[in-house]
């Protein structure tokens, strides 16, 4: 994995999971953690949702990954570790929502105007 700092666009990959059984949340998280070992991943994180509110708590585990380009993301999805992760985690999960988008680093955060 490379450093987050870069002067070029990259792809952010965010995936939300819920566990069928709350007792399996750590198993889901641990299973997803193996994805960090795929060489085409630029940056990888797995975390447990800390947000507990009255409107819904459907998300248990979040994956955040970065890729240099679409080819790197496709290599990630085609890697044997990815296939093994799917085999282990899919039976434990209820829901999975994924989103990918291109992002460019902000050179000067002070120059960003809040919306």
pLDDT above 50 for 14: yes
Average pLDDT value for residue range 84-110: 87
Q: Are 34 and 85 in contact (CB under 8 A)?
A: yes
Helix, strand, or coil (residue 81): helix
3-class secondary structure, 38: coil
Give the N- to C-terminal CA distance of the chain in Å, as an integer. 32
* R_g over Cα of the chain: 16
Name the residue with tokens 């799917």: 86
| Share of residues in the chain with pLDDT > 70 (%) | 84
Please give the Cα distance from 22 to 80 (Å, whole number).
27
3 pLDDT above the threshold of 50: no
Which residue ranges form the domains of the chain, and what is each CATH number? Answer: 10-106 (3.30.70.100)
Instruction: Please tell me whether the overall predicted TM-score, pTM, comes out greater than 0.95 for this model.
Output: no
For residue 64 the two structure tokens come to: 């955040």
Counting residues of the chain whose pLDDT is more than 90, the rounded percentage is 73
3-state secondary structure of 36: helix
- Look at residue 96 in the predicted model and tell me its pLDDT: 95
pLDDT given for residue 8 in this prediction: 78
Q: Which of 76, 59, 60 is nearest to 68 (CA)?
A: 76
What number is the average pLDDT over the span 36-53?
A: 93
pLDDT of residue 39: 96
Q: Which helix (H) or strand (E) holds 33?
A: helix 25-33
């Amino acid at each position: 994995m490379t450093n987050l700092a870069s002067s070029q666009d990259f792809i952010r990959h965010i995936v939300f999971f819920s566990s069928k059984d709350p007792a399996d949340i750590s198993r889901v998280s641990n299973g997803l953690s193996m994805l960090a070992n795929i060489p085409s991943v630029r940056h990888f994180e797995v975390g447990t949702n800390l947000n507990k509110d009255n409107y819904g708590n459907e998300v248990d585990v979040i994956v955040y990954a970065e890729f240099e380009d679409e080819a790197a993301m496709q290599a990630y999805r085609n890697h044997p570790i990815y296939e093994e992760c799917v085999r282990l985690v899919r039976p434990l999960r209820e829901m999975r929502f994924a989103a990918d988008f291109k992002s460019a680093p902000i050179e000067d955060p002070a120059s960003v105007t809040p919306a």
